């Protein structure tokens, strides 16, 4: 009886040992296999002048099998330059992490690209894989918008008379990488109006596509009508500000272009200089003609 009990105990112990080995063996994949996971799954890239234009994600290749595997890595970058390993070796039931770097072009348009990182088991325990299956992880590359602008004055210097209207033309260029709205103003408008100018802006904002031809913006000015002789220089400061920079970048991106206005001449209320000069010239011509007529009459009398 004691021998029977001992035999049953030994058989039970053997069965438990077999189960303890069989369970982890069953958890392992019987065929070559690999899993790819990448983080972060969203990669922002700056492409403004002076930026690195680089984004990085870290990918982990996990081998769930009991074999040592050689895994071929294939990267599809959506047209972006990239760097990453061509292959990795992953030990049995272990993982390895590798880096994938993507790079955007300078000033490239704001866009979103999908980058795929795929792994395929080529060999396991040194033997070729008879049934290679590709496993893929996708990450999103976001090329960020940036603001940049340029402002030009068609006439940096202009001489005008008192109390005349004149359109100053400015050109605004969007040198960013996406559609942007630009707010328009005369930065020293209060100062000019205190000096007697009248300022009118037909446009207070304008939308311009990235790298599009310049948008022309006019500023209507009326020079001061200060009584008497005027001989003064003034600065008109035209200012354009990126609306995107104000809303998103946190620092207003703007540019100021100055025009020098030289106001010289005479203004007398009710006595406009040009019409008056014209009238004086006309009166002188009539007087000269009358003098000629009188001289002719005197000669005929003699």
Task: Give the pLDDT confidence of 278-293 residue by residue, as tens digits.
Answer: 545 555 555 555 555 5
Find the distance separating the first CA and the last CA of the chain, reported in whole Å.
Answer: 181
Structure letter (DSSP) for residue 232: E
Domain 31-143 belongs in CATH node 2.60.40.2310:
yes
φ and ψ of 110, to 5 deg: -60, 130
Residues 216, 127: Cα–Cα separation, whole Å: 70
Same fold? 31-143, 149-273:
yes
71-85, 129-143, 284-298: which range is least confident on average?
284-298
Instruction: Please state, for a pLDDT cut of 70, what percent of the chain lies above it.
Output: 79
At 267, is the pLDDT very low, low, confident or very high (cuts 50, 70, 90)? confident
* Residue 188: closest CA among 110, 127, 258: 258
Instruction: Kindly compute the dihedral angle of the four CA atoms of residues 261, 265, 271, 275, in this order, to the nearest 10 degrees.
Output: -90
| Contact between 213 and 246 (Cβ < 8 Å) | no
Three-state DSSP at 144 gives coil
Pull the structure tokens for residue 46: 């700056």
> What mean pLDDT is predicted for residues 203-230?
94
In CATH, the number for domain 149-273 is 2.60.40.10
The reported pLDDT for the residue numbered 274 is 52
**What is this structure's pTM?**
0.73
pLDDT of 300 higher than 70:
no
Domain boundaries, the chain: 31-143, 149-273
Report the pLDDT averaged over residues 156-164: 96
pLDDT at position 98, please?
97
- Assign 227 a pLDDT band (cuts: 50, 70, 90): confident
Check residue 292 and give its pLDDT: 53
């Amino acid at each position: 009886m004691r021998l029977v009990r001992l035999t049953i105990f030994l058989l039970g112990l053997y069965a438990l040992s077999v189960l303890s080995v069989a369970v982890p063996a069953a958890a392992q994949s019987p065929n070559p296999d690999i899993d790819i996971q990448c983080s972060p799954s969203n990669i922002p890239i700056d492409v403004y002048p002076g930026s690195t234009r680089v984004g990085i994600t870290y990918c982990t290749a996990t081998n769930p099998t009991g074999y040592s595997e050689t895994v071929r890595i294939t990267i599809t970058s959506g047209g972006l330059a990239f760097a990453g390993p061509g292959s990795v070796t992953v030990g049995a039931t272990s993982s390895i992490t590798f880096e994938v770097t993507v790079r955007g072009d300078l000033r490239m348009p704001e866009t979103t690209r999908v980058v795929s990182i795929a792994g395929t088991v080529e060999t396991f325990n040194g033997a070729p894989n008879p049934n290679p299956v590709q496993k893929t992880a996708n990450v999103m590359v976001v090329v960020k918008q940036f603001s940049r602008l340029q402002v030009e004055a068609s006439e940096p210097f202009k001489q005008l008379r008192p109390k005349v209207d004149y359109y100053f033309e400015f050109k605004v260029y969007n040198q960013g990488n996406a559609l942007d709205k630009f707010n328009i103003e005369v930065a020293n408008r209060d100062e000019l109006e205190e000096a007697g100018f009248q300022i009118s802006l037909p446009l207070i904002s304008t939308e311009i596509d990235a790298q599009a031809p310049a948008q022309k913006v006019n500023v209507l000015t009326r020079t001061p009508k200060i009584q008497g002789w005027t001989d003064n220089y003034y600065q008109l400061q035209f200012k354009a500000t990126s609306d995107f920079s104000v809303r998103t970048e946190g620092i207003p991106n703007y540019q100021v272009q100055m025009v020098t206005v030289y106001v010289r001449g005479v203004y007398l209320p009710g006595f406009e200089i040009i019409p008056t000069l014209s009238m004086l010239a006309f009166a002188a011509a009539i007087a000269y003609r009358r003098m000629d007529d009188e001289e002719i009459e005197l000669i005929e009398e003699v």
